[in-house]
């Protein structure tokens, strides 16, 4: 069904976004169903745009099949061009970018967040590699932490509420750290490595050789370091969920529980963590969702969340021009 002017209706674009999240991430799709309808649809629109940008940048489909990209700058330019059209309120002719156009008429997502996410895709296009843990967390912010910030705004958090946005960023960091641990072998096939050079040097693993059998036991140590970091940031995010409406807190805690399960499986699998892609079963998602409901109700009874640990990495703040 089309809206006035022959363009797809909001309902049609939302339906396409729903299909995208259902195919692209069963974990996020499951958690998104816990939102109220308005928030759920906006979350789908945001996911679809992020998913489209990621797929363009990595020459993949719905997050799978990434290969070494040789025309990275041109791909980033295409993302920027289509996004600029959406930001200007013009129809792009692509459901994901037109969904962003619609979303921005409903939610005041700061332009800085959008630019920061695209900057993360550009880091991959430039074959960027982290040297330190701080570098790794900076990358995680640009490709996931900032998405947490945008999702918080979608859930009704003010763009000026820096404390809650920090917690939302922490959840994105946790998700990305878990992803990196899970996808070490898959990333290696695409000629990418997100393990900091300092970590590799500490374990005496030559850069580019971390997947070779002689280094597998040492790689396990680094993967567990990633999953331990993921749990630290997820714990911070869980505490911050107390500031959200119940259904949003429930969805956030469910997503944290589901992704936490992925991280724990990677850590527990040891040297076999990359024999196949680690996932969560439907029953595990259901259990995480049930636990999240109890935890969300408990959090809502608290008057104030525990302070965010001062030694955690902190995202760059929006500054006025």
Q: Where do the structural domains in the chain lie, given as residue ranges?
A: 10-300
Looking at the structure, give the CATH architecture of the domain made up of residues 10-300. Answer: Orthogonal Bundle (1.10)
Which two three-digit tokens encode residue 277?
Answer: 């892609």
Instruction: Scan for tokens 């630019």, then name that residue.
Output: 115
Predicted pLDDT at 320? 46
CA distance 164 to 248: 13
Predicted pLDDT at 2? 54
Predicted pLDDT at 280? 86
Predicted pLDDT at 191? 87
Numbers of helices and strands, H then E, in the chain: 14, 0
Output the 3-class SS for 139-188: HHHHHHHHHHHHHHHHCCCCCCCHHHHHHHHHHHHHHHHHHHHHCHHHHH
- Each of the 321 residues of the chain gets a pLDDT tens digit; together they read 455 567 889 999 999 999 999 998 888 888 899 999 999 999 999 999 999 999 998 876 765 556 677 788 899 999 999 999 999 999 999 999 999 999 999 999 999 999 999 999 999 888 899 999 999 999 999 999 999 999 999 999 999 999 999 999 999 999 999 999 999 998 998 888 999 999 999 999 998 899 999 999 999 999 999 999 999 999 999 988 988 999 999 999 999 998 888 889 999 999 998 888 888 888 999 999 999 999 999 988 876 778 899 999 999 876 544
Is the whole-model pTM more than 0.85? yes
Residue of 209, 187, 212 whose CA lies nearest to 200: 209
Predicted pLDDT at 303? 65
Predicted pLDDT at 72? 82
CA 232, 40, 163: angle at the middle one, nearest 5? 40
The DSSP output letter for 307 is P
Predicted pLDDT at 300? 80
């Amino acid at each position: 069904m089309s809206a006035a002017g022959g363009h797809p209706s909001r309902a049609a674009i939302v339906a396409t976004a729903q299909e995208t999240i259902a195919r692209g991430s069963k974990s996020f799709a499951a958690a998104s169903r816990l939102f109220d309808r308005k928030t759920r649809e906006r979350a789908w629109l945001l996911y679809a745009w992020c998913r489209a940008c990621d797929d363009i940048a990595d020459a993949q489909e719905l997050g799978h099949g990434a290969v070494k990209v040789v025309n990275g700058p041109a791909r980033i330019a295409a993302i920027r061009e289509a996004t600029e059209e959406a930001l200007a309120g013009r129809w792009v002719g692509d459901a994901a970018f037109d969904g962003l156009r619609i979303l921005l008429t409903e939610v005041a997502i700061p332009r800085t967040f959008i630019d920061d996410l695209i900057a993360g895709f550009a880091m991959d296009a430039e074959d960027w590699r982290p040297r330190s843990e701080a570098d790794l967390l900076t990358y995680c912010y640009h490709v996931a932490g900032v998405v947490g910030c945008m999702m918080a705004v979608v859930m009704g958090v003010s763009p000026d509420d820096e404390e809650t946005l920090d917690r939302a960023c922490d959840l994105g960091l946790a998700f990305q750290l878990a992803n990196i641990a899970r996808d070490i072998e898959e990333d290696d096939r695409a000629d990418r490595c997100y393990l900091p050079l300092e970590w590799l040097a500490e374990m005496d693993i030559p850069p580019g050789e971390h997947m070779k059998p002689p280094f597998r036991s040492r790689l396990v140590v680094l993967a567990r370091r990633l999953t331990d970091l993921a749990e630290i940031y997820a714990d911070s995010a869980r505490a911050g969920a107390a500031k959200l409406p119940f259904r949003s807190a429930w969805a956030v805690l469910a997503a944290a529980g589901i992704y936490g399960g992925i991280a724990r499986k990677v850590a527990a699998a040891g040297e076999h963590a990359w024999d196949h892609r680690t996932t969560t079963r439907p029953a595990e998602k259901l259990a995480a969702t049930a636990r999240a409901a109890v935890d969300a109700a408990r959090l809502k009874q608290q008057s104030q969340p525990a302070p965010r640990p001062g030694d955690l990495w902190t995202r760059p703040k929006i500054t006025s021009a």
